[in-house]
Amino acid sequence: MFLENEDKEKRQRRAREIMKRLDEHYGDSPMIFLENETPWQLLFATILSAQCTDQRVNMVTKRLFKKYTSLEDFAKCELSELEEDIKSTGFYHNKARNIKACARALLERHHGAVPDTIEELTALPGVGRKTGNLILGNVYHKDSIVVDTHVRRVSNRLGLADSNDPVKTEYQLMESLPQEFWIRWNTHIIALGRSICSSMSPKCEECYLADLCPSRGNQERIEGTRARHAASKKGI
């Protein structure tokens, strides 16, 4: 939620202080949670990461990238075999189909290179804005904002965005955050979301951003949401 009476200038000033503290905890360089050695490996690992933990993806790709060492290997592989290789990441039918088709597209349209524009990236099978922006920022060092569930949730709580739609959140963050923070916002906020600002039980009392957060201490609403979630799972 946006703070009342906070214009763009004030919001960016608060964002600078937030980022200063995040940098103090996580460093001032973007972190990569997905292990990779080439741009296409990062691209495929990101496709696999949908609805799957980075830890699981890294376990799978450690074997996968030894078996398939080139785009040609992925483009020519048996789809059923690739599905079995990535099965533990979930949604493996779609992921395998997209990875195989993406490998073909990279070879046929881009001479085996991963493109460096959001338009070309999102035209690839299985690649949306989140994946495209991650490649732009971490491979080509182009200022871009990656919005996943952690970024959307925490950015809204911090009052730097006000939307449940990832694309709207991305554009709102472009307005709220100074551009030099865009690339590392994603990994810093993921780290914060995993350790402190979790979905159902945020540790506001432990958060070093509490004095800058309009959602701090709102435990009554959070507990109510958690109770409703638990009740809905039980069919109450």
User: Residues 60-117: pLDDT tens digits?
Assistant: 999 999 999 999 999 999 999 999 999 999 999 999 999 999 999 999 999 999 999 9
Residue finishing a domain among 110, 138, 166: 138
Task: Report the residue count for the chain.
Answer: 236
Within-domain flag for 3 = no
233 pLDDT higher than 80:
no
117 and 177 assigned to the same domain = no
* 119-167 confidence digits (pLDDT tens): 999 999 999 999 999 999 999 999 999 999 999 999 999 999 999 999 9
Indicate whether 68 and 16 sit together in one domain: no
Kindly report the pTM of this predicted structure: 0.86
Q: Does a structural domain hold residue 94?
A: yes
C-alpha closest to that of 215 among 182, 231, 184, 192 = 192
Mean pLDDT value across the chain: 91
Is 130 an annotated catalytic residue? Answer: yes
The domain total for the chain is 2
Domain presence at residue 182 = yes
* Annotation marks residue 95 as catalytic: no
In this structure, are residues 35 and 59 in contact, taking their beta carbons and an 8 Å threshold?
A: no
Q: Which of 86, 105, 138 is the last residue of a domain?
A: 138
One of 87, 148, 162, 168 is an active-site residue; which one?
A: 148
Which of 94, 119, 138 is the last residue in one of the domains?
138
Domain check: are 97 and 163 in the same one? Answer: no
Task: Choose among 31, 37, 79, 51: nearest CA to 149.
Answer: 51
175 plus 96 within the same structural domain: no
**Same domain, residue pair 49 and 134:** yes
Of 85, 95, 100, 130, catalytic: 130
Is the residue at 164 inside a domain? Answer: yes
pLDDT at residue number 119: 97
pLDDT digits 0-9 by tens, 193-213: 999 999 988 999 999 999 999
Q: What is the dihedral of CA 15, 170, 214, 232, to 10 degrees?
A: -150
Q: In terms of domains, do 105 and 160 share one?
A: no
Q: What pLDDT does 3 receive?
A: 84
* In a shared domain, residues 158 and 134: no
- Which of the pair, 27 or 64, is modelled with greater confidence? 64
Residue pair 11/162 in contact (Cβ under 8 Å)? The answer is no
Q: Is residue 1 part of a domain?
A: no
CATH label of the domain that carries residue 206: 1.10.1670.10
Are residues 78 and 161 both part of a single domain?
A: no
Residue-number span of the structural domain to which 170 is assigned: 8-29+145-231
pLDDT at 1: 74
First to last CA, the chain: 30
Residue 220: other Cβ atoms inside 10 A: 8
pLDDT, mean of residues 44-62: 96
